[in-house]
Amino acid sequence: MNDAGTKDQERPEHGRGGTYTVKGQEFVRDSRYITTRITRDGADGYPVEPGRYRLIAARACPWANRAIIVRRLLGLEDAISLGLPGPTHDERSWTFDLDPGGKDPVLGIERLQEAYFRREPGYPRGITVPAIVDTRDGAVVTNDFAQITLDLSTEWTAFHRDGAPRLVPDDPDERAEMDSVMRRVYTEVNNGVYRCGFAGSQEAYDAAYARLWTALDWLEERLATRRYLMGDRITEADVRLFTTLVRFDAVYHGHFKCNRNKLSEMPVLWAYARDLFQTPGFGDTVDFVQIKQHYYVVHTDINPTQIVPQGPDLSGWLTEHGRDELGGKPWGDGGTPPPPVRDDERVAPGHNPLYPAEA
Q: What is the pLDDT of residues 80-123, one digit of tens each?
A: 999 999 999 988 899 999 999 999 999 999 999 999 999 999 99
Q: Give the whole-angstrom CA distance, residue 216 versus residue 209.
A: 11
Which domains can be identified in the chain, with CATH numbers?
Answer: 53-159 (3.40.30.10), 172-345 (1.20.1050.10)
Q: How many residues in the chain? A: 359
Beta carbons within 10 angstroms of residue 308's beta carbon: 13
Q: Is 228 a known active-site residue?
A: no
The predicted structure's pLDDT at residue 23: 54
The predicted structure's pLDDT at residue 4: 33
317 is in an annotated binding site: no
Catalytic residue among 33, 53, 194, 228: 194
- For the chain, state the CA radius of gyration: 20
Catalytic residue among 20, 53, 61, 258: 61
The predicted structure's pLDDT at residue 91: 85
Q: Which residues of the chain have a pLDDT value below 70?
A: 1-24, 359
Burial of 150 (0-12, 13-18, 19+ CB in 10 A): middle
pTM of the full structure: 0.94
The predicted structure's pLDDT at residue 286: 98
Q: Is 258 a known active-site residue?
A: no
Q: In what order do the strands lie in the sheet with 81-83?
A: 81-83, 53-56, 131-134, 139-142
